[in-house]
Amino acid sequence: MFRFGDLTVNILNVTRVFPSDDWYVGEHSHTCYELHVIPGGEGFVNIEGHDLHVRGGQFYITAPYVKHTQRVLESNPMSEYCLRWELLAPTDDSPGIQEESDEYRILKKYFSRCYPNAFEDAYRMDKKFERIFAELDRPRAGSRLRVKAILIDIMVDVLQSIHSYGEEIILRNQKQTEEERRLNRIMEFIQKEHHRPITAEEVSRLFFLCPRQINRLLRKRWNCTLGELVTRHRLEEAISLLQQSAMTVEEIALRCGFTSRYYMYEVFRKHGYSTPGNIRRAK
């Protein structure tokens, strides 16, 4: 436990998750804050209904009681360092502390508003977590003090990252650009119509954009073409149904827009996933 002015930070625990192609954490929430630092690999995170594609060199934060789901990309599973902490409100009613409590409220606002966003790990917090576990794995004289110093350093990194980007992110969430509105509408269309064939020409007519413009927008946002985005969504939907429903593999294939279960098997293999049968048995 340590303080920044009147802001008391209570560190609860630090964990690490090694790469595993079947790592999946269903919807859950915590009563504390969580910092998730991704040293490498890729994965998908859903925070309060918002999807994030996260990769090595990024981090994200979940606030108390915020529901989130985490899953690795099987073809390139991510690893993760997770730091859990609490922000404790000031308890001293003296004038000096009461005046400083504005800082507490501002920081709490930033922490609770920074989702759903992935930040670039500009301060290389992943390397600092490596140092923490090096000390914990082989403790020696002064290891606890060194770990505490590194944790304080990490918290400062987080605060500075939030301070640098917080207002920009809040503004971006409140006022979407025309480009973001188009992307959201395209994604909503795919989510609604993915059970049937979707062509670039159809999407072009609906959104008054030529296929080249559509793919340019999608590459900029998700680094994929329309066809790749549709396939990605079908795969995610199929995996979810395999894990959570009693539908047959054939029913899932047709519901998710695959022409047959055999074609779905082929697409799973092409994208580095295990077979649908193995995914179902592992749920």
Q: b/e for 167-194, b at 16 or more Cβ within 10 A?
A: eebeeeeeeeeeeeebbeebbebbeeeb
User: pTM for this one?
Assistant: 0.56
Identify the bridge partners of residue 17 per DSSP, sorted by sequence position.
80
Using the 8-state DSSP alphabet, how is residue 32 labeled?
S
So what's the pLDDT on residue 6?
60
80 burial (CB, 10 Å; 0-12 / 13-18 / 19+) is: buried
- Consecutive 10-residue runs of the chain (283 residues): their mean pLDDT? 69 93 90 92 88 92 86 92 82 48 61 72 95 92 92 87 66 63 85 89 76 90 93 94 93 94 94 91 78
So what's the pLDDT on residue 74?
87
Compute the distance between CA of residue 222 and CA of residue 271 in angstroms, rounded to an integer.
Answer: 16
CATH architecture of the domain covering 178-281: Orthogonal Bundle (1.10)
Domains of the chain, by residue range, sit at 2-174, 178-281
Torsion of CA 275, 276, 281, 283, to 10 degrees: 110
Within 13 Å and on the Cβ side, how many CA atoms surround 280? Answer: 13
CATH architecture of the domain covering 2-174: Sandwich (2.60)
